[in-house]
Amino acid sequence: MSTNFDASWADSARQFQQMVGEGWSQMLQVLQPKEMGAALSMPAAGPVGFAPDKLAAVQQRYLQEVQALWSHALHHDDAPLSNDRRFAGENWAHNPLSAFSVAAYQLQAHALMGLADAVQADDKTRARIRFSVEQWLAAMAPSNFLVFNADAQQKALETHGESIAKGVANLLHDLGQGHISMTDESRFEVGRNVATTEGAVVFENELFQLLEYKPLTPKVYERPLLMVPPCINKYYILDLQPDNSLIRHAVAQGHRTFVVSWRNPDASLAHKTWDDYIDEAVLTAIATVQQIAGAKQINALGFCVGGTMLATALAVLAARGEEPVASCTFLTTLIDFADTGILDVFIDEGFVRMRELQMGQGGLMKGQDLASTFSFLRPNDLVWNYVVGNYLKGETPPPFDLLYWNSDSTNLPGPYYAWYLRNFYLENNLIRPGRLTVCGESLDLTQVQLPVYIYGSREDHIVPIGAAYASTQVLPGDKRFVMGASGHIAGVINPPAKKKRSHWLREDGQLPATLDAWLAGATELPGSWWDDWCAWLHGHAGRQIAAPKAYGKAPKFKAIEPAPGRYVQQKA
């Protein structure tokens, strides 16, 4: 038996190495979105091989697990084989075929991940190989196939096949809409039960609408608040429901609040550049809010890519000697792109150059491709979980406002997207004084002297917490950093009334060179970080004045239409 095992092992190792050397990413060609497949198909920078000692250790473990698997099968042991929630139901343990499929899958998963870890190559190639293997293993789990999924089979029996019929109907529905349903989208409507904070559109151009919200207090702070959300998503992540709306919370705190609502680009905007978005959108929004409020200075908030755009705009203003922004808040924002986490597997010169050739002079980066790519960063939670529930079990996912928003994708203009990839993700030019020229100005973030509030989420897979903290080492003004629990979205949208999660603060004001050093002196506090932010923002908001009686400022800035406006309704 040992000879057969050795031969089988040698064949497996050779096949794996061939897969790596000849285009290992092709395994996921059908499953992955175009963006992911394009990135992972890039050739390795150098030779790819195996570390002999690690290879031997993986082989030894493989043989031991094969023997244990056969022993388990011979003794007909019905004990659960896994604590993985995909296979945790008791039906898996009682179904011999399903139980064996899980054990065999886990054996192969251990071996493949061991082989991935044993690869000798440059760091990026190693990361890409590991990422591809993880994607393939997520796709090949027995839970994804009706013939092995004991829970789905049991449900089919209990419903006399109705769950299978419903699953087919769900599949046809999702094929028609172009994406997997993560929630019951029929239960939501923008302006009816999401994005409902009362307000009006007071300005618009071809890139954005500016929303102003109705005051909820008799007095407001003299410095209005402008929020710049990411244009890669729709603004109403900040205004989902009344009880979890950051926008409504800011208004209730007495801030005269304005929000940028991005237009969902179509072919007419396919030529727009990063410069266009900074000049015609962010800078225009800042100036418009100043004019409407009659304020010498405003406060600003940027979220994710919106924060990166806001930082760029502030550098343009600093180069011009202008200071229209009194303070700035950055939520899960990349300014220093040295650590981009898992997204780094996509980025290299070849990939960026390909995107520049495809759409650098015009075209659209399709919103659904971007949304699918982000979902596949967490494939078990955001892809295969819904494949199993929707199609194998015929379930309708429960209504969830955040996942409805997540499915409401937006396009990006190709020139904007390609420039962003090269100058930020690939070359990290924003933190290098004089390396970028935007709107005719040479950028230097060391000239951006205003006070800033920087928030990062501890479990963020889009903006790693260390990358969020890195902004404290780049921006020279007074800074306050806070770390929240959870991820990129759930950590941000965490209203105090929910009394959920926690956050970390360092009251001595020290901002050492590394996140670990900061954490050594930080204190964990229960609940949301929103109250801390509000207290900080009040200190930069100026005196209180009577709340305005009307939207905008006549005659130039009149209410065009009620919030949430037309632009947010546009589909990709």
- Identify the residue with better confidence: 269 or 63: 269
Tokens for 260?
Answer: 């940028």
Q: What is the pLDDT of residues 272-283, one digit of tens each?
A: 999 999 999 999
Tell me, what amino acid is at 54?
Answer: K
CA distances for 322 relative to 312, 314, 490, angstroms: 14, 9, 35
Exposure string over 333-370, b if 16+ CB within 10 A, otherwise e: bbbbbebbbebbbbbbeebbebbbeebbeebbbbbbbb
- What would you measure as the largest C-alpha separation in the chain, in angstroms? 88
- Identify the residue with better confidence: 402 or 75: 402
Identify the sign of the CA torsion 235, 337, 281, 552: positive
Q: Write the CB contacts of 346 (distance below 8 Å, at least 6 apart in sequence).
A: 35, 36, 39, 40, 373
Unique residue bearing structure tokens 């919370």: 249
Per the DSSP assignment, residues forming a β-bridge with 259 are 211, 227
Q: What is the pLDDT of residues 495-540, one digit of tens each?
A: 999 999 999 999 899 999 999 999 999 999 999 999 999 999 999 9
Count of beta carbons in the 10 Å neighbourhood of residue 321: 7
d(CA 446, CA 454): 16
Dihedral pair phi/psi, residue 28, rounded to 5°: -105, 15
Tell me the pLDDT band of 59, cut-offs 50, 70 and 90.
confident
Among candidate residues 304, 328, 439, 534, the one labeled active-site is: 304
d(CA 311, CA 528): 25
Tell me the pLDDT band of 62, cut-offs 50, 70 and 90.
confident
Q: What is the pLDDT of residues 331-362, one digit of tens each?
A: 999 999 999 999 999 899 999 999 999 999 99
pLDDT at 21: 41
Q: What is the DSSP letter of 558?
A: -
DSSP-based three-state secondary structure for 117: helix
CATH of range 199-337+428-569; options 3.90.480.20, 3.40.50.1820, 3.40.50.300, 3.40.50.1860 = 3.40.50.1820
pLDDT above 90 coverage of the chain, percent: 75
Would you call 304 a catalytic residue per the annotation?
Answer: yes
Q: Which segments of the chain belong to CATH 3.40.50.1820?
A: 199-337+428-569
d(CA 431, CA 474): 7
3-state secondary structure 35-98: HHHHHHCCCCCCCCEECHHHHHHHHHHHHHHHHHHHHHHHCCCCCCCCCCHHHCCHHHHHCHHH
Q: Please count the CA atoms within 13 angstroms of the CA of 130 that sit on its side-chain side.
A: 16
pLDDT at 350: 92
d(CA 235, CA 227): 9
DSSP-based three-state secondary structure for 312: helix
Exposure string over 248-262, b if 16+ CB within 10 A, otherwise e: bbbbbbbbbbbbbbb
d(CA 25, CA 449): 45
Please state whether the peptide bond connecting residue 512 to the residue before it is cis, i.e. omega within 30 degrees of 0.
no
Decide: 187 and 406 in contact? Cβ < 8 Å.
Answer: no
CA angle 35, 421, 354 (to 5 degrees): 55
CA angle 182, 185, 190 (to 5 degrees): 125
Tell me the pLDDT band of 133, cut-offs 50, 70 and 90.
very high
pLDDT at 69: 72
pLDDT at 72: 63
Decide: 109 and 352 in contact? Cβ < 8 Å.
Answer: no
pLDDT above 70 for 12: no
CA distances for 227 relative to 199, 260, 282, 402, 442, angstroms: 14, 6, 10, 19, 25
Name the residue among 548, 243, 89, 184 with its Cα closest to residue 400.
Answer: 184
Quick one: CA torsion of 247, 252, 258, 262, rounded to 10 degrees?
Answer: 20
Q: What is the pLDDT of residues 84-101, one digit of tens each?
A: 889 988 899 889 889 889
pLDDT at 142: 95
pLDDT above 60 for 165: yes
DSSP-based three-state secondary structure for 15: helix
pLDDT at 103: 87
Unique residue bearing structure tokens 């632009």: 567
Tokens for 99?
Answer: 């139980």
Count of beta carbons in the 10 Å neighbourhood of residue 201: 23
- Identify the residue with better confidence: 458 or 84: 458
CA distances for 340 relative to 336, 347, 551, angstroms: 9, 10, 40
H helix intervals, 389-485: 401-407, 414-420, 465-470
Beta pairing class for 199-204 and 219-221:
unpaired
pLDDT at 481: 98
CA angle 560, 563, 569 (to 5 degrees): 100
Count of beta carbons in the 10 Å neighbourhood of residue 276: 17
DSSP-based three-state secondary structure for 444: coil
d(CA 340, CA 231): 19
pLDDT at 410: 95
Q: What is the pLDDT of residues 425-457, one digit of tens each?
A: 999 999 999 999 999 999 999 999 999 999 999
Q: What is the pLDDT of residues 13-43, one digit of tens each?
A: 454 445 444 433 333 343 355 665 655 555 5
Q: What is the pLDDT of residues 312-329, one digit of tens each?
A: 999 999 999 999 999 999
Report CA 10 to chain centroid distance, whole Å: 40
